[in-house]
A and B are shown apart, each in its own frame.
Chain A
Amino acid sequence: MKFGIVVFPGSNCDHDVYHVAKHVLGHEAAFLWHKDTTFAGVDCVVLPGGFAHGDYLRAGAVARFSPIMKSVEAFVARGGLVLGICNGFQVLTEAGLLPGALVRNGGLKYICRDVHVRTERQDTPYTSRIKQGTVLKIPIGHGEGCYFAPEEVLKELEEKRQVVFRYCDESGQVTAGSNPNGSLRAIAGVCNARGNVLGLMPHPDRSAEEVLGNAQGRRIFESIVYAWEQARRQRI
């Protein structure tokens, strides 16, 4: 399987994702410069964390117009897998590929620490190896990760089961204290209606190896590989 990692000016987790894909999972990985317009042979596009285009104007607002985004949109329309982590999630919402927006953290502070998230569904390519209800400990590192969407959009997200990860405590309970940034409905990650695009604020790329003290984020990457292999088997 081949991962394509988009590099915007200001991306800073591109190498983390590359390392996980290539050296932890043992799959192919390639960097995709934001001015490229094609990425033949890529099975999963990852928009990594960082501060694309300096986060000027709004996080993700300028990046969504980078030349590569047209190809990403076409890839999504064909059913391709696109994962946005942190800043990548912000880019995907700005691009309209995911609903809602990410605004300043409720407490105003940039937060960098481990949080717990509850997996709300297993039937997505990103959670195919994670049972519904599973609590994962994954780090966050953001100043603008407070998920916002109008009430009617939130209702639709719940009805279509598009909330994939929710902030929770260690036991899986969603409480006021377990929501680090004031996200509405404690949303940490959402997918599109089709399920092929996922955005999440926590960093599975920073928690994919035992040597880092936490390998729970690896399960998201392993899910992607598993889902891709299942899909390939069906095609053959």
Chain B
Amino acid sequence: MKARVYVTLKRGVLDPQGKTVCASLHQLGYREVTDVRVGKFMDVTLGGLPRREAEQRLKAMCEKLLANTVIEDYRFEIYEE
């Protein structure tokens, strides 16, 4: 079983990296881009857990370590390989 965990900056938290990427896209002529936010994802491989328990444990992992909920939002998808 695998999970892909997405961690992104909350709205309202300044993302200078995203702003820089956005400006660069504008320079390349992609004027339609109105905003870019840069985040990260983590591929987590899990073994021997029923799906529901995996969900609960992933949520705890995100809250404890993978995301800082003061500044970041997270979501994850669980899938079988």
Contact = CB atoms under 8 A, between A and B. Distances in A.
- Classify the secondary structure of A's interface with B: loop
A148 B16 CA distance: 13
B45 interface: no
B13 interface: yes
B20 to A, nearest CB: 6
B70 A149 contact: yes
Contact of B68 (A94, A106, A107): A94
Contacts of B66: 57
B68 A58 contact: yes
Given A101-B70, A103-B71, A148-B71, A65 B65 contact: yes
A182 B14 contact: yes
B70 A61 contact: no
B17 interface: yes
B16 A100 contact: no
A57 B65 contact: yes
Nearest to A96: B70
A146 interface: yes
A108 interface: yes
B74 to A, nearest CB: 12
Interface core residue of B13, B17, B70 (most chain A CB under 10 Å): B70
B68 A101 contact: yes
Contacts of A94: 68
Interface of B: 9, 12-17, 20, 65-66, 68, 70-71
18 contacts: A57-B65, A57-B66, A61-B65, A62-B65, A65-B65, A93-B70, A101-B68, A101-B71, A103-B9, A103-B13, A103-B71, A104-B17, A106-B14, A108-B17, A146-B14, A148-B13, A148-B14, A182-B14
